Every structure is written in C-alpha cells, then in structure tokens.
Amino acid sequence: MIAAILAADSGKSSTILASDSGGRGEGYVPPTVEEFFPPPIFEFSFLGLDFEITRITIISWIAVAALIVFFYSAARRARIVPGKLQYAGESAYNLIRDGVGRDVIGKDAKPFIPYLATLFFFILFNNIMGIVPFAQISPSAKIAYPAFMALLTYLLYLGVGIKRHGFFPYFKGLIIVPGVPVYMHVLLIPIEFLSNVIARPFTLAIRLFANMFAGHLLLVVFSLGGAYLLVQPNISVIFSPLAFAVAIAMTFFEILVAALQAYVFTILTAVYLEESVAGGH
C-alpha cells in the first residue's frame, strides 16, 4: 500500500484523486498465492522432518506414473520394425537425442543424453498437468520442483567441468574472458562470476517456476472472473462468455508454454554442460 505524492510544491489548487478503497471488490475475491498451498491430505514426520502430502504431490505422482507407463510400454517389446507405440517413444527420445544432445553438446553427448531426456519428459509431463482436467495445477508451479532440478543441473555441470579440467583451470575458464586488455578484468570478472556461477541455476529455476505460476494464476483469474460475472444481476453478465472464451484460449496457450519451458530448460542444461565439456570460454 503506497501513497504516490505527485505534487509537493504549493498547496493551492491541488486536487485529490485518491481512490476509494471501500468501493471496490465487493463480492469478487481475486485469487492469491494460497492457490498453491492446498490443505494436506495426510501428513507424517520422518527423521524430524514434517512431510505433507497435498493435492499437488499426488498430481506429481500421477504425472510420473504416466511417464513410466508410456516409456515402459513403448520399450517393452522392442522390434526392429517398430509398432505404433514404440515409434512414438523412439521419436520422443530422438527429439532430445538429436535435437538437443547431439546438436548442442556434439560428439561428447552420449553420457548426458539419458539425463537430458529424463529432465525434458519429467518437466513436460509435470507442466501438462496444469491443464489436465481435475488436476489443473502444475507441480512445477511450486518453487521446490524447479529449484531441485536446477540444483541437479548445477551440480552436474560443475562436477563435469571440474572432473574434465581440474578445479582451478575450470573456474579460470568460467570467470576470465581471454583476449581482453588487463584492466578490463576489473569489470569483467565480477560480471562473469555473477552471470556464470550465481545467476545460471537461479534463472533456470525461476524461469520454469514463474511461467507455470503465472500461467496457473492467469487461468484462475479468467475462470473466476467468468463465474463471478455470470451471477451478476446487471448488464455485466454479458461479458461472462468473453471471460470464459479467454480462459479456454489461455488453456491452449498453456500447452505451448508447457512444452516450450520444458524444451528451454533442457536446451539450457545442454548448453551449460557443453561449456563444461569444452572448458568455458
């Protein structure tokens, strides 16, 4: 709550345009962050840690179960001439192997492809749960999921870099830009350190989280708005179908966002891994 004071000079002829806080939001309750904290279904303590199994946890289990069922049944009876399901599974895997792994990392891609493919499909299935009826919230909209995946990626590419090049040469490659005048390092080393060591895992996690979080809230705002307008006694009821139409259009847009964010997360992981393999700058 703020008061923006726009005129500070003279007292005469200053008009007060203060908005009336009591006059709005009579019946309509806008969605809040509480959306993402559903009540726990059951809770337990393990080793002094409190666990809460909520709706979102169950949705994540369903997504993972669907992922396992799909790939297991695709690979169960692998033949030289693939069937329909095997073909679908193979094309999905090839999308990551060729489009991300081999294109970005190159000839050293082989050990990382299982990680990249798992990451992509885990994020994709979790994101898609944001628009599956009755689930309609993505586990990726909780910061814990993207944060942990970003942490895994961070540790992996740091580990690969240190293993391939040694601790100091690797960090030298990360923060020192070769071929610039010596005095420029005063400016460049802090920038490179911030962007390569600190900002990377942070933005990787926040990008996925923010997209899913905002996408869910967008759907909730338009659906609640449509439902609220529908029960209005006055003329504004005619705007209700418009709000629902936008909610449906946004649902389709969310499919695009879900796939795109999974792809972006995977391709950035691959880019960071490639830099570790090749040795920074």
Partner 1 sequence: MLHVVAELEGNVTAIAYGLSAIGPGIGVGIVWAAYIQATARQPESAGLTRTYAFLGAALSEALALIGFVAPLVLT
Binds partner 1 by CB under 8 A, chosen from 91, 94, 195, 236: 195
Q: Which is nearer to partner 1, 195 or 236 (CB)?
A: 195
For partner 1, the binding residues in 4-43 under the rule CB under 8 A are: 4-8, 10-11, 14-19, 21
- Minimum distance of partner 1 from residue 264's CB (angstroms): 6
- Minimum distance of partner 1 from residue 100's CB (angstroms): 9
**Cα gap 184→188, rounded to integer Å:** 6
In the shown chain, the binding pattern of residues 255 to 274 toward partner 1, with x for contact by CB under 8 A and - for none, equals ---------x--xx-xx---
Amino acid present at 98: D
For partner 1, the binding residues in 126-185 under the rule CB under 8 A are: none
- Minimum distance of partner 1 from residue 190's CB (angstroms): 16
* Contact (Cβ atoms closer than 8 angstroms) between residue 123 and residue 265: yes
Q: Tell me phi and psi for residue 53, to 5 degrees.
A: -90, 110
Amino acid present at 66: A
* Contact (Cβ atoms closer than 8 angstroms) between residue 269 and residue 208: no
Q: Which is nearer to partner 1, 75 or 191 (CB)?
A: 191
Residues binding partner 1: number (CB under 8 A)? 31
In a 10 Å sphere around its CB, with 0-12 CB exposed, 13-18 middle and 19+ buried, how is residue 46 labelled?
exposed
Other residues' Cβ atoms within 10 Å of the Cβ of residue 189 = 13
Binds partner 1 by CB under 8 A, chosen from 210, 217, 221, 227: 210
- Minimum distance of partner 1 from residue 270's CB (angstroms): 8
User: Binding of partner 1 at residue 80 (CB under 8 A)?
Assistant: no
What is the b/e burial string over 2-17, where b = at least 16 CB atoms within 10 angstroms of the residue's CB? eeeeeeeeeeeeeeee
Q: Tell me phi and psi for residue 39, to 5 degrees.
A: -65, 145
Other residues' Cβ atoms within 10 Å of the Cβ of residue 93 = 18
User: Binding of partner 1 at residue 235 (CB under 8 A)?
Assistant: no
- Minimum distance of partner 1 from residue 136's CB (angstroms): 22
Q: Which residues bind partner 1 (CB under 8 A)?
A: 1-8, 10-11, 14-19, 21, 103-104, 195, 199, 202-203, 206-207, 210, 264, 267-268, 270-271
